[in-house]
Amino acid sequence: MEEQDTLAIIIGKNITRLRKLFGMTQLELAEKLNYSDKSVSKWEQGNGIPDVRILVQLAELFNVSVDDLVREHKEKPVVPKRERKIRRIVITLLSVGVCWLVAVACFVLIGVVWNAKQEAWREGAWLAFVYAVPASAVVVTVFSSIWHWKWTRVAAVSVLIWTLLACIYLTLWVCQVYDMWLIFLIGVPLQVLALIYFLWRKKAKLKE
């Protein structure tokens, strides 16, 4: 009996820790499990143990194993949701900044190191900044996918599609290949496909 009480307390602490880590209230967690918030409160207080089916649901919801739920963990400070969001934004901006740092380095390298005979290279040095835009969009797409910023991801993919086509167009223009504006027509089906994919993903998640 004592072992069961200890297990209930451990599970309760783990549920509380993970719920707060994901920024959920007891009511929000209860709705996802199709249970009442009173049941969640009871589990967190160690006054009961969820059945195996609920433990599996909790493990899937928090992306942990069932063993992680029933095993005692050393207490770790829970980072507040707002602070975690700010930290993620800063990390994303710093990563985008690296893209522009590389662009500046390329611009300087082309402008200083390359000699005057390679005039085409010097004239196209500004393209380094143009290519920094789709590179930044890739970085934002990756981080927004990791951190589930769905609308940021949609915007980043759209920027990536059109700026990448713009890069190709401007590169050809610098190389004196003109009348290539039709290349932007490729962006139309790409944009439509991207929107269909995101809408499908959103609908699939709602079903889950």
Contact 187, 161 (CB under 8 A): yes
Rounded to two decimals, what is the model's pTM? 0.55
Q: What's domain 2-70's architecture?
A: Orthogonal Bundle (1.10)
Contact 46, 14 (CB under 8 A): no
Residue 178's SS3 state is coil
Average pLDDT over residues 41-58: 89
Q: Where in the chain are the domains? A: 2-70, 81-207
Q: For tokens 């549920």, what's the residue?
A: 15
Instruction: Give me the chain's average pLDDT, please.
Output: 82
Q: Give residue-wise pLDDT tens across range 53-107.
A: 899 999 888 888 888 888 886 655 556 667 878 888 999 999 999 999 999 988 8
Percent of the chain having pLDDT more than 70? 83
d(CA 55, CA 15): 10
The dihedral sign for the CA sequence 125, 127, 133, 134: negative
80-114: burial string, b at 16+ Cβ within 10 Å, e else = eeeeeeeeeeeebeeebeebeeebeebbeebeeee
Give me the amino acid identity at 55: L
Contact 125, 113 (CB under 8 A): no
d(CA 150, CA 141): 9
d(CA 82, CA 182): 45
More confident residue, 175 or 79: 175
Contact 70, 29 (CB under 8 A): no
152, pLDDT greater than 50: yes
Q: Pick the range with the lowest mean pLDDT from 40-54, 71-85, 159-173.
A: 71-85
d(CA 165, CA 161): 6
More confident residue, 109 or 77: 109
Contact 137, 163 (CB under 8 A): yes
